[in-house]
Amino acid sequence: MSETQKPDARKSLATTPSARKTIVESRADEFQEEIPVLELADSNVPESNSQDHSSLITRVSLKEALVPPAPSDKQSAAWNSGKKTYSLAELEGLASQYNPTLSQASAVVGKACGIQTQVGKRPNPIVGYFGDEIGDGGTAGRQGAYIAQTFVTADKLRLNELVAEKDVQERSWQYEAQRMRVENDVRSRYFETLGAQRRIELANELLQIAEDGLKVSQQLFEAQQASRADILQSKIQLNEVQIVHQNAVLAHEAAWKRMVSVVGTPHLERGRLAGDLKQQVAPVSDWDTVYHALISNSPELQAAYYRVQRAQSQIERQQVQAKPNFQTQVGIGHDFQTGSEIVNAQVGVFLPIFNRNEGNINLASSDYHRALNDVERIELMLRDRLATTYQNHQQAAQQVEKYQKDILPSAKENLDLTNEGYRQGEFEFLRVLTARRTFFETTQSYVTSLIALRQAEIQISGLLLSGGLNDVPDISQGAGGTSQRGQALNGQ
C-alpha cells in the first residue's frame, strides 16, 4: 500500500466507537502487507552481551576534538588526564555489544520462538504392556502390548502456532523499540556530556577573563584611578567564576557516568568526546510530516498491531477447542488359556456437554477489543508526547538562532568595549561587572539551548523512544504460551 493510501490515524479520532473499531480492524488486516515481517535468523538465546544483535532479526530501516585549556584544580586535572577520544559512532557500537537490555530483548524473542515451536508439536504415542488374570489358578492368562495415540482435531496445533507466531513478531518489534531506546539514550547523553565538556572550556575562558579583570583593577588602583572596592568586587567575581568552573567539572563527571552506564561500560577509560554541539542531528520537518512519520514507523504502534492480529487468531483458536480429540488405543496379545491371539481396539472422545469453552472464547474476545483500543491509546500517547517534544525543539531552535545571530556577538562586543573603556577611565566598575556577568550567563545559556536542541532532534528522529536501561518485559508462558498446547491435547 502506498504512502498516500495509508489510513489517516488522525481522522479516526473524530469518529464513533464502532467506526473507530472498523478502521483499526482494517488497518490490522492491512498491517501484514504494510509492515515488513521481521524474519528470525536464530532462535537461540545469545551466549554473551558481545553478540551482534543484528544477526537475530532484520532491522527496520530507520571535527575536531574539543581540548580545553589546562585546568587549575585537581578535579579538572583528572578530567583532562583522559588520553582517549571517543566519537558518537564508537559509543553506539559499544552500546550494541554491552547494553544488557539488548541481550534481554533478544532472549525474549528467542523464548517466543521456542514457544512457537513447542505449541505445534503433536503428542507422542504411548507404548505399553497389558496383562490379565496373571497367576489366576496357575494359568498365565492374557498378555500383550498396546500403543495409544491422541489425535488432535480441528487444526488446533496449527492455530496454536499461528497465535505464537504473532507473539514472535510482536516481540521482534519490541526488540527493535529497545534497540532504538538504547541508541537514542546514547546519543542524548553523548550530547549532554559534550555540552558539559564545552562548559568546562567556557569556564576556563571565564576564569581567564575574571583573572585579567582583577589584574586591571589592581593596576588602576596602583595608578590611583580605581578604589579598593573595585579590587574587592573583582575578587568576588573571580571566586564566583571559580565556583562555576568547579560545578562544570562536577557536572561533566556526572554526565560521563550517566553516558557510560547506558552504553553498558561503567569502567570505560575516561576520555574526551569528539564532536560539535552545533552539528545538526537530523532535519526536523513540519508537524504534520513528523507526526505521519511517527505513526507510520513507531515500533510501539507496530507491536500493537500484532497484538490485534494475535487476539484475532486467539478467538479463532478458542472457537475450535470444543471439537473433541480422538483417544485411540490398539493392543495385540496372546490368550494362554485358549492358545489364540487377541486384538484389542479402543476409541474415545470427550463429549462437549457441560464445557463448550465459552469462558475462553469470551476471554479471547475481550482481549481482542482491548487490543483494538490499545492501538488508539498508543496513537494518542504518541501524539501527546510529540506535541511536547516538538514544542521543545521549536523553542530551542529559536533560542539557538537568536544567541548565534544577536545575543552572543553583542555580549562579546559589549564586554570588549566595556573592558577597554574601563581601562581608559570612561566607565564605572559597576558597568564592567554587569558586562562580564552578562557574557558569562549568555555563553552558558547558549550551551544549554544547544544541548536541548540536539536532544529534541534525537527524540523526534528516534520516534520518541527512550529508556535504554528500562526493564525488558518477559513473555508469558500462560495463555497463548506452552499452556495452550496442553489445552489442545487434553480435549477440554
Q: What is the CATH number for 93? A: 1.20.1600.10
The pLDDT assigned to 210 comes to: 85
Measured between alpha carbons, how far is 96 from 265 in angstroms, rounded to an integer? Answer: 11
pLDDT (average), residues 61-68:
32
Q: Is the pLDDT of residue 2 over 60?
A: no
C-alpha cell at 194: 559534550
- Residue 81 — very low, low, confident or very high, per pLDDT cuts 50/70/90? very low
- Residue 423 — very low, low, confident or very high, per pLDDT cuts 50/70/90? confident
Alpha-carbon Rg for the chain, nearest whole angstrom, is: 35
Measured between alpha carbons, how far is residue 262 from residues 98, 190, 259, 469, 470 in Å?
9, 10, 6, 6, 10
Measured between alpha carbons, how far is 343 from 146 in angstroms, rounded to an integer? Answer: 9
Q: What's this model's pTM, rounded to 2 decimal places?
A: 0.78
Instruction: Name the average pLDDT for the chain.
Output: 82
Is residue 83 in some structural domain?
Answer: yes
C-alpha cell at 241: 567564576
- Residue 69 — very low, low, confident or very high, per pLDDT cuts 50/70/90? very low
pLDDT in tens, 358-376: 999 999 999 999 999 999 9
Is residue 308 in some structural domain?
Answer: yes
- Residue 219 — very low, low, confident or very high, per pLDDT cuts 50/70/90? confident
The pLDDT assigned to 342 comes to: 87
Strands 142-151 and 326-335: antiparallel
- Residue 225 — very low, low, confident or very high, per pLDDT cuts 50/70/90? confident
Could you tell me which residues come within 8 angstroms of residue 294 by beta carbon, excluding any fewer than 6 positions away?
382, 386, 463, 464
List the single range of 71-80, 169-178, 287-296, 427-436 with lowest mean pLDDT. Answer: 71-80
Measured between alpha carbons, how far is 299 from 303 in angstroms, rounded to an integer? Answer: 6
Q: Is the pLDDT of residue 316 over 80?
A: yes
From 143, 201, 173, 145, select the one nearest 334 (Cα to Cα). Answer: 143
Strands of the 326-335 sheet, one edge to the other: 126-132, 142-151, 326-335, 340-349
State which residues form the domain around 437: 37-490
Is residue 303 in some structural domain?
Answer: yes
Measured between alpha carbons, how far is residue 274 from residues 79, 132, 185, 245 in Å?
15, 85, 18, 21
Is residue 310 in some structural domain?
Answer: yes
Q: Is the pLDDT of residue 30 over 80?
A: no
**Residue type (1 letter), 110:** G
pLDDT in tens, 450-477: 999 999 999 999 999 999 999 999 887 5
> How many domains are contained in the chain?
1
pLDDT in tens, 394-403: 999 999 999 9
